[in-house]
Amino acid sequence: MRREIPVRSSAGHYPIIIEPGLRRRIGLILKSLPGKRSYSSVLIVTDRTVEKLYLEDVVRSFDETPHVKIVPAGEQSKSFSVLEELLEYVAGCGLDRDSVIIALGGGVVGDLAGFAAASFMRGIDFIQVPTTLLAHDSSVGGKTGINLRAGKNLAGAFHPPAAVCFDPETFSSLSKREWRSGLAEVIKHGLIRDPELLSFALDIGSFETAEDGAAMGRLLEQSIRVKKEVVEEDEKEKGIRAYLNFGHTLAHAVEAEAGYGRWTHGEAVAAGMIFALELSERTFGIDLRSAEVEASLQKLGYDTRMYKNLDTRSLVERMKKDKKSRQGDIRFVLLKAPCEPVLMPVSETELLKHL
Ligand SMILES: O=C(O)C(=O)C[C@@H](O)[C@H](O)[C@H](O)COP(=O)(O)O
């Protein structure tokens, strides 16, 4: 069954379309986008893993064979060298301001291809075709970017996609680890805004259950709706969008410190959320059931304390470079009550004591 969720952005509205088999109809979707003239050229960006699985289906959906650029799979592709190679390729293919870039893959491909689209000729259209559960988060809201040595996503742009096209059939090729990575962001949306989604996600029990069509549809749609509500209210992260960073202050530091790819983004976010929950409980003297949430996460196979093996001081130094920091003060998204996030400075002493 087809589902369509419109998202309001500074560039107008864009649709999030969820439909089994959609990857075979991307060419048609492009023609039907509201207010769009036909695109002069199409470039698909994907990675080596997704290429083997779904590229042919997407290519065949076009009347004329699109250009294709394959990048290496993994977080390492969110780098200047890969971005440079991609942009040179875009220029070499002769794309112009009436062209479109299609990001076919997970969050890395979406962030990289989106940033290429945001910067080529100061901005051309791009379409997100996410093939992972994790990308339900990164594909909505227009954040694009790459990592710097100094930290994750430190170079990027807000550039809303022209459409986000989910084909849930592509989730069948996800490994348990990739499921785990994506589910962490669903749980985050539950913790900051949707208690019902939180219970449903935590009680999912196993990734086999999550793969079941109805359960997955519910996780995906409800989580996307939380994201939509937040980014519609605050597209450029002047206020409440920062709450979507719950668990990410420590997570980004862990990913960079351990080496990108050592832990998946969601694995790091899961640990970061437990840390933030405990910090919230101490700060506000409340019970947020952090032990219960942690037990559910551990049952699903998350290592919620992996940061204990990393150098504490280095983690704190990395957190100072987080985009939410101000004048060197580290700021965390905490919960002052269930589903009531706040952005607050946290002292280095407090962090050093508990990391
Ligand atoms: O969309 C947002 O805003 C988020 O913070 C969502 C995060 O889950 C996502 O990982 C995002 O890419 C992190 O953004 P950043 O600004 O902290 O780099």
How many CA atoms does the CB half-sphere of 79 hold within 13 Å?
13
Q: Under a CB-based contact definition with an 8 Å cutoff, are residues 11 and 124 in contact?
A: no
Confidence of residue 37 (pLDDT cuts 50, 70, 90): low
- The pLDDT tens digits of the residues spanning 82-112 come to 999 999 999 999 999 999 999 999 999 999 9
118 shares its domain with 265: no
Residues 107 and 96 in one domain: yes
Q: Let me know whether 36 and 90 are in one domain.
A: yes
Mean pLDDT of 320-337: 95
Which pLDDT band, with edges at 50, 70 and 90, does 122 fall under? very high
Rounded average pLDDT over 317-325: 95
Residues 224 and 209 in one domain: yes
More confident residue, 276 or 37: 276
Residues 180, 51 within the same domain: no
Domain finish residue from 122, 152, 173:
173
Of 122, 157, 173, the residue at which a domain comes to its end is 173
Residue among 219, 82, 101, 222 at smallest CA distance from 161: 101
Res. 216 pLDDT band, cuts 50 70 90: confident
Nearest-angstrom CA–CA distance, 91 and 292: 52
Q: Which of 173, 191, 210 lies at the terminal end of a domain, its last residue?
A: 173
CATH number at residue 334: 1.20.1090.10
Residues flanking ligand 1, CB < 6 Å: 137-138, 141, 143, 152-153, 185, 237, 241, 244-245, 248, 323
Using CA atoms, how far apart are residues 322 and 331, in angstroms rounded to an integer?
8
Q: Are residues 19 and 92 in the same domain?
A: yes
In tens, the pLDDT along 156-184 reads 999 999 999 999 999 999 999 999 999 99
What is the model's pLDDT at position 181?
Answer: 95
CATH number for the domain harbouring residue 75: 3.40.50.1970
Q: What's the domain range around 136?
A: 3-173
Does residue 164 sit in the same domain as residue 290?
Answer: no
What was the pLDDT predicted at 221?
A: 95
Write the pLDDT tens digit of every residue in 59-83: 999 999 999 999 999 999 999 999 9
Is this complex scored with an ipTM above 0.95?
yes
Count of domains forming the chain? 2
Same-domain status, 164 and 224: no
Tell how far the Cα of 138 is from the centroid of ligand 1, in angstroms. Answer: 7
Percent of the chain with pLDDT over 90: 90
Q: Answer yes or no: pTM beyond 0.90.
A: yes
Give the chain's mean pLDDT: 95
Distance (Å) from CA 331 to ligand 1 centroid: 15
**Chain centroid, CA 12 distance in Å:** 21
Contact (CB, 8 A) for 227 and 189:
yes
Verify that 116 and 210 share a domain, yes or no: no
Residues 55 and 17 in one domain: yes
Q: What is the pLDDT of residue 328?
A: 85
Best residue among 75, 108, 132, 138 to mutate for probing ligand 1's pocket (most ligand atoms within 8 Å of CB) is 138
Is 80 exceeded by the pLDDT of residue 50? yes
Q: Are residues 134 and 208 in the same domain?
A: no
Mean pLDDT of 9-17: 94
User: Is residue 36 pLDDT above 70, yes or no?
Assistant: no
131 and 62 in a common domain? yes
